[in-house]
Chains A and B, each alone.
Chain A
Amino acid sequence: AQRVTQPEKLLSVFKGAPVELKCNYSYSGSPELFWYVQYSRQRLQLLLRHISRESIKGFTADLNKGETSFHLKKPFAQEEDSAMYYCALLPPLGAGSYQLTFGKGTKLSVIP
C-alpha cells in the first residue's frame, strides 16, 4: 500500500527564516514524489517533482530513499509562501497504477 505522511498540520515561521516541510512516504519500489500547493482562494497546483530537480519559487526537495523522505525546503521564507502544501506519491510508470496519493497537508504561515 502507498502512503504519504506529513507530520505537521501547521507550520509558522517568520519572514526570512528557513522553511522545511516534512514528508515521509511508504511504497515498495521507486515512486515519483511531488509537492502540490494551494494558495488562498486558488486551485491546487503542482509545485515541483523530484525527477526534475528544479528549484521553483526558491523551493527545493530532495528525495532520500534511505529515509523514505521528500522534505520541502526554502532558505528564506516570504509572506507569499503562506499556503497549504501537500506531498504526493505516484507509482512509477509501468507499475500499472496512476493513483496519486496525497498526504494530509501542512499549512505554512509566514509571519511578517
Chain B
Amino acid sequence: ETGVTQSPTHLIKTRGQQVTLRCSSQSGHNTVSWYQQALGQGPQFIFQYYREEENGRGNFPPRFSGLQFPNYSSELNVNALELDDSALYLCASSPWAGESYEQYFGPGTRLTVT
C-alpha cells in the first residue's frame, strides 16, 4: 500500500508569482484535503476534493484553487503569492468524504515566499 506523497519537498518563490503543489493520494482513497500550516499553528483547512469535485472550502481567498484528477491525485495552485503564504502545505487523503476523520497525511511541501 503506497502512502500519500507530495512534491516538491521545498520551494522558494517570489511575491506575486504562482505555485503548483502536487499530491498523490493513498491507494484506494478518493478524497483529498489540503491544509496550510503556518509556523507554530495547527493545520488550517483549505479545501477538500471528492471524486474530482470541490467538496468544501475553508476561509481562504479564491487565489487558492485546486484540482483533482481521475486517479484521485490532486494539485493546489496559489496565485499572486504573498509573504504570508509561507507555510507548510499538507495534503491528506481519506477513503471517502464521509470518513474524513481518518486522514492520512503526506510529508508536506515547505513553501517560502520572499
Contacts and interface: CB of A to CB of B under 8 A. Distances in A.
Interface of A: 4, 6, 9, 32, 34, 43-46, 49, 86, 88, 90, 93, 97-105
A103 to B, nearest CB: 5
Interface residues of B, number: 28
Given A44-B90, A97-B56, A98-B56, A32 B48 contact: no
Given A44-B90, A46-B102, A98 B42 contact: no
Contact of A43 (B56, B100, B107): B107
B45 A103 contact: no
B33 A100 contact: yes
Given A97-B56, A98-B55, A49 B43 contact: no
A43 B45 contact: no
Most buried by B among A34, A86, A99: A99
B78 interface: no
Interface in B13-69: 31, 33, 35, 40-45, 48, 50, 55-56, 58
Contacts of B92: 44
A49 B35 CA distance: 20
Nearest to A51: B101
Given A4-B42, A46-B101, A105-B41, 4 more contacts: A46-B102, A93-B98, A100-B33, A102-B44
